[in-house]
Amino acid sequence: MQASVKNTRDEDLIKVEDLSKYFSIGGGLFTKPLQLKALQDISFTVKRGETLGIVGESGCGKSTLGRCILQLLTPERGRVLWMGQDIAALPAEEMRKHRKDLQIIFQDPLASLNPRMTVGEIIADPLRSLMPQLKAKERRDRVIRTMEAVGLLPEMINRYPHEFSGGQAQRIGIARALITEPKLIVCDEPVSALDVSIQAQILNLLADLKDQFGLTLIFISHNLSVVRHVSDRIMVLYLGRIVELAEGDDLYDDPKHPYTRALLTAVPVPDPKRARQRTIDGLVGEIPSPINQPSGCTFRTRCRYALPICAQQRPPLESTGTRMVACHRWQELELQSGA
């Protein structure tokens, strides 16, 4: 895939600036709706060709972030710059031209495919709206090329989704994302619903496609082992805020935020002797409600290192070299690798 010439100097494919997204919950004639702060003050960049992993527990805002990047949700504040351009500010017609560069793969492969369309129609669907200039023959050729790229047999083109297993259905979902030759694909829990052996096949496929087409990936998952396996850099979200963002190895070998360390120690490792030896940094309780968030550092209610200051002031997201971390005590704490 050719990189457009004018942008090769610009390393950042995506720059997210101070993004916040709120949802209104409930509310009626006489009651004010509650405000759910799904994302707050999110800033980061994604470099061309890298895989950025986003991890966190359910309700931390990781899927919302993916959808905000794709402009499927409109943020309350902040902007998403796509190769230096704020695409949300573009007129609809201009924005459509960029749409084909941004695609998404969903978690539940069968639920995300229209049961009444054939595989060929499903995969070709994005072309109808995003590249309407293509003729039927060109469209079909593209579908077949893409099916081959993701390991589907071209003769399956007229079959319906229910005839496929979960792993094959996810290949169809990947083909649909690839068909417009995007630059960025947001993978939202793409392997969570799959069997272990199939999960490994799809992870390898994504890695191959990334090399072959020069893709940039944002990989959202609650499974830290999977994220570690695919990502160059990893962002850890907690209650809608970035608590840590670092290179994969740095994050796993030397976590700076107590939440990152707790997550890492909680991941089950497929190694019985190691599993018996290691101490799990048991987090007490569960993630608080995003509607009624704790004051100061939102993690303090589950943090064993919390001090009075953590309840009073929210720790800023500090940058140190390639790492960002939001904790009052990150410099003094000696956290060991959990894995």
Return residues touching another protein (CB under 8 A).
Answer: 57-58, 165-168, 195-201, 203-204, 207, 222-226, 228-229, 248-249, 252, 262-276, 280, 282-283, 285-287, 337, 339
Q: How far is CA 217 from the centre of its chain?
A: 8
For another protein, give the closer residue by CB, 155 or 332. Answer: 155
Find the shortest distance in angstroms from Cβ 205 to another protein. Answer: 10
**CB of 102 or CB of 237, closer to another protein:** 237
Nearer to another protein, 106 or 299 (CB): 299
Pick from 94, 70, 93: which is nearest to 21 by CA? 70
> Residues 307, 325: contact at Cβ < 8 Å?
no
For residue 116, the Cα-to-chain-centroid distance in whole angstroms is 29
| Sign of the C-alpha dihedral computed for residues 143, 144, 145 and 151 taken in this order | positive
Strand ranges for the chain from DSSP E: 12-25, 34-47, 51-55, 77-82, 85-86, 102-105, 184-188, 216-220, 233-238, 241-247, 318-320, 323-325
- C-beta closer to another protein: residue 58 or 74: 58
Q: Smallest distance from the beta carbon of 260 to another protein, in angstroms?
A: 12
State the minimum distance, in angstroms, from the CB of residue 166 to another protein: 8
Q: How far is the CB of 285 from another protein (least distance, A)?
A: 7
Of residues 66 and 258, the one with the C-beta less far from another protein: 258
Q: Which is nearer to another protein, 15 or 228 (CB)?
A: 228
DSSP SS3 for 273: helix
Q: Minimum distance between the CB of residue 268 and another protein, rounded to whole angstroms?
A: 3
Q: How far is the CB of 293 from another protein (least distance, A)?
A: 16
Return all residues near 92 (Cβ < 8 A) that are at least 6 apart.
none
Residue corresponding to tokens 């943020």: 75
